[in-house]
């Protein structure tokens, strides 16, 4: 190795390691592109509409694309999540209202034991369907990595409103009204 | 004849061990430290969350069903994906966990190979320079040094 090659090689190695570290940190950053678009008053197309997930009993698979033409309240939840218990009655109430107009709440469990999810549904007498996202095929596309999170989609599958955290009755009803009006 | 007897003895000794060999029952602690809390991104054995408790309950249930450690890990991986295992995945960005340490060691070795001869050359040159430019002892100092050394030897 020539005399000048040594510091160059060390510098390249150090730069590569720093680059790797930066990439590792940046890659873990939360995706808030949906939030930004909705905040600007835009209605971005809901991501992952083709992603098919199993129902809680595993009997069939469903996707958001199959619900096109209906207002959908997409709710990510888990039985181990405290705020999810708090908002379950609010979502069930929204389901009762949506069902009259052909819409639906669609629950998606986020890394949850299937048996515990089914117990949760029974305990809160939830009548809307839920899908299992154990391998996180859908949640990350919505930037979801905490629970609960709720996205209101219009009939064209566009995101009208979103709530990161426990959803309130007022927010949900207003968002559903906007989605139904479009 | 002797070989046949030895072979028969070997069969007698080994057969019961093989026939009776069973997979050891999984120990909870042994599984727990090889699994991640998949929502808190820390190993399950140090995780403190509701999801971690749920994962522990799942592991206990699988142990009660008689599954071995490998079977439990395979079942968790099948359900929740490879990220649930504490061992880094062998694909994508996670591969960096394996190749970065190797690359660093190789680079350091290369650096040593490149620098050691130079350091040795420089050391020899310094010694030669010091020898060439060392101030000569005066006769009085040389005599005193010899006397001191003789005292030490005595």
B100 vs A contacts (CB less than 8 Å) = 17, 20
Ranges of H-type helices in chain B: 2-20, 28-32, 50-64, 69-80, 96-133, 139-153
Mean per-residue pLDDT for B101-125? 86
Give pLDDT, residue A2.
54
Report percent pLDDT > 90 for chain B: 42
* Complex-level ipTM: 0.80
Residues 78-107 of A with CB under 8 A from B: 78-82
Give pLDDT, residue B114.
82
B114 vs A contacts (CB less than 8 Å) = 1, 5-6
Q: Is B112 helix (H, G, I), strand (E, B) or coil?
A: helix
Distance CA B90, CA A106 (A): 34
Confidence band (pLDDT; 50, 70, 90) for A150? very high
Ranges of H-type helices in A54-165: 82-99, 114-123
Distance CA A66, CA A49 (A): 8
Handedness of CA B59, B62, B64, B66 (dihedral sign): negative
B75 vs A contacts (CB less than 8 Å) = none
CB contact under 8 A, A13 and B93: no
Distance CA A61, CA A51 (A): 9
Give pLDDT, residue A25.
74
- Chain A and chain B share a number of CB contacts under 8 A equal to 49
Give pLDDT, residue B89.
67
**Identity of the residue in B50, B100, B111 whose CB atom sits nearest the CB atom of A6:** B111
Distance CA A55, CA A148 (A): 19
Mean per-residue pLDDT for A126-143? 96
Q: A2-24 pLDDT, tens per residue?
A: 556 767 777 787 888 888 888 87
Beta-carbon contacts of residue A3 (< 8 Å; ≥ 6 apart): B118
Give pLDDT, residue A94.
97
Asked if the model's pLDDT at residue B12 lies above 70, the reply is no
A135 touches chain B (CB under 8 A): yes
**Identity of the residue in B39, B100, B107 whose CB atom sits nearest the CB atom of A111:** B39
CB contact under 8 A, B51 and A6: no
Report percent pLDDT > 70 for chain A: 96
Mean per-residue pLDDT for A61-78? 97
**Identity of the residue in B51, B96, B100 whose CB atom sits nearest the CB atom of A80:** B51
Give pLDDT, residue B18.
46
A58 touches chain B (CB under 8 A): no
Instruction: Give the CA-trace dihedral at A58, B35, A144, A68, to 10 degrees.
Output: -20
- How many C-beta neighbours within 10 Å does residue B60 have? 13
CB contact under 8 A, A20 and B96: yes
> How does the average pLDDT of chain B come out, rounded?
83
**Identity of the residue in A17, A23, A135 whose CB atom sits nearest the CB atom of B81:** A135
A1 vs B contacts (CB less than 8 Å) = 110, 113-114
Give pLDDT, residue B21.
53
DSSP β-ladder status, A72-77 and A104-110: parallel
Provide the whole-model pTM.
0.73
Asked if the model's pLDDT at residue A42 lies above 60, the reply is yes
Handedness of CA B106, B109, B111, B114 (dihedral sign): negative
Q: B13-69 pLDDT, tens per residue?
A: 555 444 445 566 789 999 999 999 999 989 999 999 999 999 999 999 999 999 999
Asked if the model's pLDDT at residue A84 lies above 60, the reply is yes
B81 vs A contacts (CB less than 8 Å) = 134-136
Give pLDDT, residue A149.
97
Give pLDDT, residue B19.
47
Mean per-residue pLDDT for B8-12? 53
Give pLDDT, residue B8.
57
CB contact under 8 A, A10 and B111: yes
B105 touches chain A (CB under 8 A): no
Confidence band (pLDDT; 50, 70, 90) for A37? very high
Confidence band (pLDDT; 50, 70, 90) for B9? low
How close A80 gets to chain B, by Cα (Å)? 5
Max distance between CA atoms of chain B, in angstroms, equals 93
């Amino acid at each position: 190795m020539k005399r000048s090659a040594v510091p160059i090689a060390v510098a390249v190695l150090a730069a590569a390691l720093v680059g790797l570290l930066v990439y590792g940190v940046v890659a873990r950053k939360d995706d808030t592109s949906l939030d930004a678009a909705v905040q600007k008053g835009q209605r971005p197309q809901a991501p992952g509409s083709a992603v098919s997930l199993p129902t809680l009993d595993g009997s069939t698979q469903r996707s958001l694309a199959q619900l096109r033409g209906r207002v959908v309240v997409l709710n990510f939840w888990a039985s181990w999540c405290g705020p999810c218990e708090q908002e379950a009655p609010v979502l069930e109430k929204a389901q009762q209202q949506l069902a009259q107009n052909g819409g639906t709440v669609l629950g998606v469990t986020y890394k949850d034991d299937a048996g515990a999810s089914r117990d949760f549904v029974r305990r809160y007498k939830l009548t809307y369907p839920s899908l299992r996202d154990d391998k996180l095929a859908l949640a990350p596309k919505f930037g979801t990595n905490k629970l609960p999170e709720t996205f209101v989609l219009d009939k064209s599958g566009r995101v009208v409103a979103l709530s990161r955290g426990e959803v309130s009755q007022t927010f949900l009803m207003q968002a559903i009204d906007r989605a139904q009006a479009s | 004849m002797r070989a046949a007897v030895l072979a028969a003895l070997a069969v007698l000794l080994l057969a019961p061990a093989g026939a009776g060999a069973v997979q050891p029952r999984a120990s909870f602690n042994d599984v727990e430290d090889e699994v991640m809390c998949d929502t808190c991104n820390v190993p399950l054995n140090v995780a403190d969350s509701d999801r971690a408790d749920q994962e522990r309950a799942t592991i206990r249930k699988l142990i009660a069903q008689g599954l071995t450690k490998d079977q439990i890990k395979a079942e968790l991986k099948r359900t929740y994906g490879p990220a649930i295992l504490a061992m880094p995945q062998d694909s994508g960005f996670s591969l960096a966990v394996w190749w970065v340490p190797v690359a660093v060691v190789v680079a350091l070795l290369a650096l040593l190979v490149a620098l050691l001869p130079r350091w040795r050359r420089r050391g020899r040159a310094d010694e030669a320079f010091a020898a060439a430019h060392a101030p000569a002892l005066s006769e009085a100092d040389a005599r005193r040094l010899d006397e001191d050394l003789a005292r030490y030897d005595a």
